[in-house]
Amino acid sequence: MKTYVKQDFPLAEVRRHLEPGPIVLVSSAWKGKTNIMTMGWHMVMGFTPSLIGCYIWDNNHSFEMVRKSRECVINVPTFDLLDTAIGIGNCSGAEVDKFDKFGLTAGEAEMVGAPLIKECYANFERRLADAKLIRNYSLFVWEVVKAHVAKSPKNPETVHYRGNGEFMVAGRSVSRRRLFKAPNL
């Protein structure tokens, strides 16, 4: 599988890769084991600090791993990884080593203990910014503390879940900068 050459990316601009709404892979580590889950329920909640809200169902094996370690990495896969992402979402880390099973390469993160997935277009290292909404809402509020993004392409072919096994693949890009007032960009 293809890996991407990456560079540091400004934390305040992480929204570029998450606000369009792609499915992501959440990688975690706890007590010497790693895991990966596929996730579609997330939203941007701030620029500086760079905050991302994620709904993680407490039935997922990753739930306790990210809650206890208070860290994880959000990895953005592209279309070539779609079947892998689905496979990851259809088995449990309680039973299999997902890096091994799916032939993915674990890279070392700089700021957190969780591994990066090298085959993904972007990797965002995150620390838990707020745990207060987990119990009642299953909502984790994360701060991105380090961002790695592929040098090219500029606009990746991300995949977006519709439910029922159907996906939308990212299409063309258009700019409308001229229609914005500067503070609203």
Q: Residue 15 is inside which H or E element, if any?
A: helix 15-18
- Here the tokens at position 27 are 């990688």
Please choose, out of 27-35, 107-115, 135-143, 145-153, the segment that lies near a second copy by the rule CB under 8 A: 135-143
Please choose, out of 25-33, 98-106, 108-116, 134-142, the segment that lies near a second copy by the rule CB under 8 A: 134-142
Distance in angstroms (rounded) separating the CA atoms of residues 99 and 12: 30
Q: Which of residues 145-174 bind a second copy (CB under 8 A)?
A: 155, 157-158, 160-174
**Is residue 103 close enough to count as binding a second copy by CB under 8 A?**
no
Provide the minimum distance between the beta carbon of 31 and a second copy in the complex, in angstroms, as a whole number.
26
Q: How many CA atoms lie within 13 A of 135 on its CB side?
A: 2
DSSP string covering 129-145: EE-TTHHHH-EEEEEEE
State the binding string over 62-101 for a second copy (x if CB under 8 A, else -): --------------------xx--xx-xx-----------
